[in-house]
Amino acid sequence: MTLKAHKAFTLIEVLFAVVLISMIGMALLKSSSNNSKLMTYNNHKKYFMDKLSIFAINMNDDLHKKTKTFYDLIYGKYKLDDETRKSLKKHKYKLFKEDADTVTLSDSQEYQKSLVFNIKKYKIQGIHSSFIYSITSGAK
């Protein structure tokens, strides 16, 4: 009577496969976690940039060194639902006006015409900080 040998994995091979699969799983979990953090950061940044446009539209020199909410800037101009109103009142931001620069583009000397650009820089400070540039032009 002859015994047939059964082919099977050894204990070491099974342990190696389990360790390898668990390492791959951990790497996937870490990658997923990093992607989730990045998505959250991008969503917060997008929210801030959307609201920043409110400052850009309502920018004036009277807001220098004043703390305002986004809602303060648009109060009475638009009809808002309660959820949007709460969202706009949530955070306060401070606006700083920095010195203006002037750029002059001159035509050739015989025409004596030039185009003048006044550039104002505003810094908005809050949870996130950002800069807005206002450019006005005129002929000289």
b/e for 31-43, b at 16 or more Cβ within 10 A? Answer: eeeeeeeeeeeee
- pTM of the model as a whole: 0.44
Q: Which amino acid is at 26?
A: M
Residues 2-33: tens digit of each pLDDT: 667 678 788 899 999 999 999 999 998 888 88
- Give the C-alpha separation, 125 to 98, whole Å: 13
Digit-coded pLDDT (tens) for 69-118 = 777 777 777 787 888 788 778 877 787 777 777 877 776 666 667 778 87
User: Domain extents for the chain?
Assistant: 11-139
How far is the C-alpha of 6 from the C-alpha of 10, rounded, in Å? 12
Beta bridge partners of 121: 98, 133
